[in-house]
Structure 1
Amino acid sequence: MVSEVGNQLAELTSRLVQIDSVNPPGDVTKVVEFIKNWLSERGFSSSIYEYVKGKPNLIARVGKGKPVIILNGHTDVVPPGDLSKWTYPPFSGRIIEGKVYGRGSTDMKGGVAVIMMVFAELGPLIEKKGTGSLVFSATADEEVGGHAGVEALVKDNVLAGDAAIVAEPTGFDKYCIAEKGLSQVKLIARGRPAHGSLPLLGDNAIMKLIKAIEKAQDTVNEINRGIKLPQDLIEAINNSSRVYLEGALRSGLKLSEDDFRHTIGSVSFNPGVIKGGSKVNMVPDYAELELDMRVPPGVSPSNVIDKLRNTLSGLAEVKVLDTSEPNYTPSSERIIQLIREGIGKQGAEAKPIIMTGATDGRYLRLKGIPTVIYGPGELTLAHTYDEYVTVKDLVNTYNTIKYTVEKYLGLRQ
């Protein structure tokens, strides 16, 4: 039997899913208009900050003074892909047997619905009691880096507080305390052209690039042998390994917890795009590779890049494409402890995890704001066909976040 709160959360999630906010192009105007009107109907005013046309960010606040707790969720979603592979249309928001289906249901319109309802439920009490402030932020651009969203808001000091909850999907009994950083580079090899029948007259850039890739991997392996992970993250890495393994086994892959434990706790190495040459009977004088590396806490992305430059000197140039620092919130922070308590109130064992990718939480953490990633939906369902979020997850994460805010702002003893 679904509770009234469950029905409301499912319906709100469905309404959000039905509003196409695919990124690219990332136009979230319509979904932000819906959220603004929804809040207005319940007596809350909000402000819009638009750094890039078509990518508005909405901020609503209640209460006054400190402490300030931020609830954050992004409104953009990834493209649906091949429409024929969806059982139900990706923007239908169908509610069937306790699940809300559609693109963004898990990542992360279910999470946005949860924090909208928490904000609306607690807002009047916070205004009346004056025990601090609650900020609701529905932000743009996360699926392509968050530069026109949370990053810009944090830089402008529009989004600031003493703690934050980002309602990305973790599942109701798990919470994310850390994210790996990013080192994305382009390796460029240059050679000398010649006729393909006389390769000795040229200098083959593709062959040089192949050697550079092998040397780059050896360098990353050497870095990984010397990594010392923060002790605070060992439990999170172990839990994450189990989560990712479950998804892998469902897909028929024969992997182990140790495989994932190694990948999560080390610098990953993924050559993603390779280009080179112009004609089969020419010695190529140019070749390039775009390399994606994810960096765990305890490792500096810039140090990884510097070591690659030293190793590949004379063989390939190393051009930086994008970087971000690994980041985590210590388990001793109050926001973490309250989330754990809230999960326990739902009758579950709270499990910390680490994300291999990045969320908008990195911008908040790097600003010094203790941040926890916690919301409805499973990590392994994000960006998939037939994406869904369960009503049970919506309700349990709503209860946990509501409890956390109440305790943090002194509304509950």
Structure 2
Amino acid sequence: MTDVVSLAQALIRCPSVTPAEGGALALAGEYLSAAGFAVERVTFSAPGTPDVDNLYARYGSGAPCLMFAGHTDVVPPGDVSRWRHDPFAGRIVDGRLYGRGACDMKGGVAAMVTAAVDFVAARPAFAGSIAFLLTGDEEGPAVNGTVKLLEWAKARGEVLSHCILGEPTNPDRLGDMIKIGRRGSLTGRLTVTGKQGHVGYPHLARNPVPTLLRALSALIASPLDGGTAHFDPSNLEVTTIDIGNPATNVIPAAATAVFNIRFNDLWTLDSLKAEIADRLARARREGDAEVALAFDPSNAVAFLTDPGPFVTLVSEAVEAQTGRRPALSTTGGTSDARFIQAYCPVVEFGPVGGTMHQVDEFVAVDDLVALTAIYRAALERYFG
């Protein structure tokens, strides 16, 4: 199990800040290839976005196929002078492995690769197959990564049965939480167009601000829902209001606002958009400034993986190693699981995420070893 620590250190030393590959995918590919996996590197492009390197690997060709998924790209380290340890040195101090991506999610990648390599070495002729889907685009636009790699794999005839995504899911201790779904995300933009004028002559102008305030009040006046058995209530948050008027004696010509909704599986994107439009229509008054509503194209749907046999299998593997039965959760932001769920059932389980994206990000060395054992136990249970 010491191999997982060495691999995690080596991955951290690859400066793979999105969209740079930095050698991280090449390193993971070397480990998998040496173990007998068929490894392919695939690069995707799109106008206005950087090219992104990705990796797909598979051992075996039969069913069922358990896929491990993750990303090797990381967010920038920020002000390096604020780090106690070089963010790309992979230093171990007092039982902690420090570095950008230690918990999000090079530690998880190292654990799943080590577990799979150990498993196929011990059981090379197991019935079924293991796949890896690793992207370099999760922390960026998420355009040329997992979503396109899944399409590419499907076009090749790859059939995936279940997936474990190694995102950092545990809030405090390894074994606290498995994610079995995620809320959706919808971003809307309001643009209210009035008529600029002198504040002393309001009858010659049309102020967009009162209209915007009434519109926003209508959006937040009542809850969208009360939540479900597995999801928190949907919440709409106004994230910015912009008028851009430096003068104190001028009625502005326009005002804008942006809001984001994290919604549960009571809603689809279409039904939620219709609800927002209906609330705005009911709030409109005669003489109001013109309100334009637009939704961002990059949104995420809510999904839930049925808490059945596969979720139970992973939960039992976690409990056997940690002594804790993990809570089944749908909290947090979005992840690449939103793309994977369209191809196979997916659960998320990975390191403690308390320091992800922070200065001095770290993962406990003991947790890396335990996480590798959990993934290995999941493989043993999955393939009987």
Q: TM-score, length-normalised on structure 1?
A: 0.82
Matched, 1:381 2:380: no
Alignment-derived partner of residue 82 in structure 1? 79
Q: Is contact 2:128-2:383 (8 Å) kept?
A: yes
SS at match of 1:143: coil
Paired residues, what number? 363
AA at the equivalent of 2:215: A
Alignment-derived partner of residue 198 in structure 1? 201
CA offset at residue 135 of structure 1? 0.2
Q: Is contact 2:71-2:134 (8 Å) kept?
A: yes
Matched, 1:19 2:14: yes
Q: Aligned partners of 1:228, 1:34: CA distance in 2, in Å?
A: 43
SS at match of 1:385: coil
Q: Aligned partners of 1:290, 1:72: CA distance in 2, in Å?
A: 32
CA offset at residue 371 of structure 1? 0.8
Runs of 4+ aligned residues of structure 1 deviating over 4 Å after TM superposition are: none
Deviations 1:368-390 (A, max 9, x none): x1111011222x32212211111
CA offset at residue 71 of structure 1? 0.4
Q: Aligned partners of 1:87, 1:274: CA distance in 2, in Å?
A: 38
Structure with greater proportional strand content: 2
CA offset at residue 335 of structure 1? 2.1
Gaps of 5+ in 1: 238-264
Alignment-derived partner of residue 163 in structure 2? 164
**1:356-371 map, 5 Å:** 356-367=332-343, 369-371=344-346
CA offset at residue 160 of structure 1? 4.2
Q: Is contact 2:168-2:351 (8 Å) kept?
A: yes
Alignment-derived partner of residue 128 in structure 2? 132
Q: Aligned partners of 2:36, 2:150: CA distance in 1, in Å?
A: 26
Go from structure 1 to structure 2 and tell me whether the alpha carbon gap of 1:361 and 1:73 turns closer, same or farther (over 3 Å shift).
same
The partner residue of 1:115 within 112, 115, 132 is 112
Q: Aligned partners of 2:322, 2:93: CA distance in 1, in Å?
A: 25
Q: Aligned partners of 1:30, 1:200: CA distance in 2, in Å?
A: 65
SS at match of 1:323: coil
SS at match of 2:108: helix
**1:2-401 map, 5 Å:** 5=1, 7-23=2-18, 26-28=19-21, 30-52=23-45, 54-125=51-122, 128-144=124-140, 146-156=142-152, 157=154, 160-171=159-170, 172-173=174-175, 174-218=177-221, 221-224=222-225, 227=226, 229=228, 231=229, 233=230, 265-280=232-247, 281-313=249-281, 314=284, 316-321=291-296, 322-332=298-308, 334-351=309-326, 352-367=328-343, 369-378=344-353, 380-401=354-375
Q: Is contact 1:9-1:391 (8 Å) kept?
A: no
Go from structure 1 to structure 2 and tell me whether the alpha carbon gap of 1:303 and 1:40 turns closer, same or farther (over 3 Å shift).
same
CA offset at residue 228 of structure 1? 5.1
CA offset at residue 154 of structure 1? 2.2
Structure with greater proportional helix content: 1
Deviations 1:233-271 (A, max 9, x none): 2xxx6xxxxxxxxxxxxxxxxxxxxxxxxxxx1122222
CA offset at residue 339 of structure 1? 1.0
Q: Aligned partners of 1:101, 1:356: CA distance in 2, in Å?
A: 24
CA offset at residue 101 of structure 1? 0.9
Alignment-derived partner of residue 254 in structure 1? none
AA at the equivalent of 2:27: F
AA at the equivalent of 2:265: P
CA offset at residue 82 of structure 1? 2.7
Q: Aligned partners of 2:306, 2:314: CA distance in 1, in Å?
A: 13
CA offset at residue 65 of structure 1? 1.0
Alignment-derived partner of residue 405 in structure 1? 379
Q: What's the RMSD between the two structures over aligned residues?
A: 2.1
Bigger drift between 161-170 and 288-297 goes to 288-297
Q: TM-score, length-normalised on structure 2?
A: 0.88
CA offset at residue 41 of structure 1? 4.3
Q: Is contact 1:28-1:54 (8 Å) kept?
A: no
SS at match of 1:355: coil
CA offset at residue 284 of structure 1? 1.6
Q: Aligned partners of 2:163, 2:299: CA distance in 1, in Å?
A: 23
Gaps of 5+ in 2: 285-289
AA at the equivalent of 2:169: T
Q: Is contact 1:342-1:400 (8 Å) kept?
A: yes
Q: Aligned partners of 1:228, 1:40: CA distance in 2, in Å?
A: 45
Q: Is contact 1:188-1:287 (8 Å) kept?
A: yes
AA at the equivalent of 2:268: S
SS at match of 1:50: strand
AA at the equivalent of 2:350: G
